Amino acid sequence: MFVKPEAAPALFAGPYALGTLSATGQDAFPALVRRDGSVVNLRRALSSPELTMLGVLEDWDHVSGGFAELAGRPAGDDPLVNEFRVHAPVMPRQVLQSGANYRQHVIDLHVAHRDGSDGLSEEEARAEAAEIMDRRAAEDLPYVFIGLPSTITGPFDDVVLPSWAKKPDWELELAAVIGRPAYQVSAEQALEHVAGYTIANDLTDRATVFRRDMPQIGTDWLRSKNAPGFTPLGPWIVPAQSLPALDDLQVTLKLNGETMQDESTKDMIFPVARLISYISQTVQLLPGDLVLTGSPAGNGMHWGRLLRDGDVMDASVTGLGAQRTRCVAEVPA
């Protein structure tokens, strides 16, 4: 869909953000968007007619130094963002996803998925989960798994709910966008490798999270999280220097206007720097890669209300703008 006129000026921290836009019938291009909603086509500004946002991130140290000057130029006759379709800001090569990284969310899931055979009351089960979370933060390592780039879709695109997904759920997250290769970096160095941050809604089919045919295998993230379009992304990449305080951003998701998730990133068990450092001990993170940092409490399992045809999700993270996606049931072939 196209951004409505009321969506500009663009609401994000700092003087500018980056995105990927297109006009009707034209190819998408990487753009710098000013706070007044005016747009600079980076292909023209950088004299690179085939440039993509991934290319911008691959050359981050060289090109990003000039963005403040571009943002400070008078807009003149530059077009407005509401004249364009807003796509996912980047198509990554790798998507790394953190699970079980918000304390209250994990406690909620622990209680929701239990079958009662442990003999504990709900209050006792919550206390047990809280103790486990405190111990994890002090002694353990993050839990990270791999997602597929094919799940990425735009921040205003419809989300198709597959016919096989019986319990589709939302999981709004802060996502870090890598700007410099990172391999075996320390937590103290990790944020130096981040170009900026964006919004990701990491949808999950709760019915297929665990393999029922072979429970000992554990979680099935391929099936439950990797349907096409299951990760609405964007609208913007906000440069890291415009968002210095990562430990108290509000992550908010509304379903049909009703607030479902509204939690601060201070509830994270493992902060962003520690996640990136941990991932980099195994994986060489590349420019454009996404590190999803986990989702706070308030998903559909908590409310007993999963996604269905016609639902509208409004999602925002402090300083990063907002996305709106509508759920559409898949029509079987």
pLDDT (tens digit, 9 = 90+) per residue, 77-124? 999 999 999 999 999 999 999 998 998 888 877 777 676 777 788 888
Residue 8 has pLDDT above 80, yes or no: no
Q: What is the pLDDT of residue 2?
A: 38
Give CA–CA dist 82/133, Å, rounded.
44
Let me know: does 57 contact 288? Beta carbons within 8 Å. Answer: yes
Determine if the peptide bond prior to 271 is cis (ω within 30°).
no
| Digit-coded pLDDT (tens) for 175-230 | 999 999 999 999 999 999 999 999 999 999 999 998 888 877 888 999 999 999 99
Q: What percent of the chain has pLDDT over 70?
A: 96
Region 32-50 average pLDDT: 96
The average pLDDT across 263-276 equals: 96
Tokens of 328: 């559409």
Tokens for 175, please give them.
Answer: 């996502």
pLDDT for 119 equals: 77
Sequence ranges of the chain with CATH classification 3.90.850.10:
95-329
Report the pLDDT value the prediction gives residue 94, as an integer from 0 to 100: 98
Cβ-based neighbours of 179, under 8 Å, separated by 6 or more:
57, 60, 61, 64, 193, 194, 195, 196, 240, 287
pLDDT at 148: 98
User: What percentage of the chain carries pLDDT values higher than 90?
Assistant: 78
**How many CB atoms are located within 10 Å of the residue 221 CB?**
17
Q: Is the dihedral of CA 10, 320, 295, 85 positive or negative?
A: positive
Stretch 8-28: mean pLDDT: 88
- The answer to whether residue 55 scores a pLDDT higher than 70 is yes
Number of Cβ within a 10 Å radius of residue 93 = 14
The tokens describing 231, both together, are: 């990760």
Strands (E), the chain: 16-22, 29-34, 39-41, 85-87, 95-99, 143-147, 152-153, 159-161, 168-169, 172-178, 194-201, 204-205, 231-232, 238-239, 250-255, 258-264, 290-292, 312-317, 322-329
pLDDT tens, residue by residue, 155-180: 999 999 999 999 999 999 999 999 99
163: exposed, middle or buried (Cβ count in 10 Å: 0-12, 13-18, 19+): exposed
What span, in angstroms and rounded, lies between the C-alpha atoms of 267 and 43?
40
Q: Is residue 249 over pLDDT 50?
A: yes
Instruction: State residue 135's pLDDT score.
Output: 84
Torsion sign across C-alpha atoms 105, 110, 115, 119: negative
Q: What is the pLDDT of residues 293-326, one digit of tens each?
A: 999 999 998 899 999 999 999 999 999 999 999 9
Q: What's the rounded Cα separation, in Å, for the pair 196 and 277?
A: 16
pTM exceeds 0.85: yes
Please give the average per-residue pLDDT across 21-40, as a whole number.
Answer: 96
Q: In the CATH scheme, what architecture does the domain 95-329 have?
A: Alpha-Beta Complex (3.90)
5: pLDDT strictly greater than 60: no
Helix (H, G, I), strand (E, B) or coil at 78: coil
Q: Is the model more confident about 292 or about 100? A: 292
Q: Is residue 4 over pLDDT 90?
A: no
**CA-wise closest residue to 195 among 261, 141, 145, 242:** 242
Q: 158: burial class by Cβ within 10 Å (0-12, 13-18, 19+)?
A: middle
In this prediction, residues 22-38 reach a mean pLDDT of 95
Tokens of 33: 């968007």
Q: Are 67 and 16 a contacting pair, CB within 8 Å? A: yes
Condensed to tens digits (0 to 9), the pLDDT of residues 120-161 reads 888 888 888 888 888 888 888 999 999 999 999 999 999 999
What confidence tier does 59 reach under pLDDT thresholds 50, 70, 90? very high
| Three-class secondary structure of residue 159 per DSSP | strand
Rounded to whole angstroms, the Cα distance separating 273 from 283 reads: 15
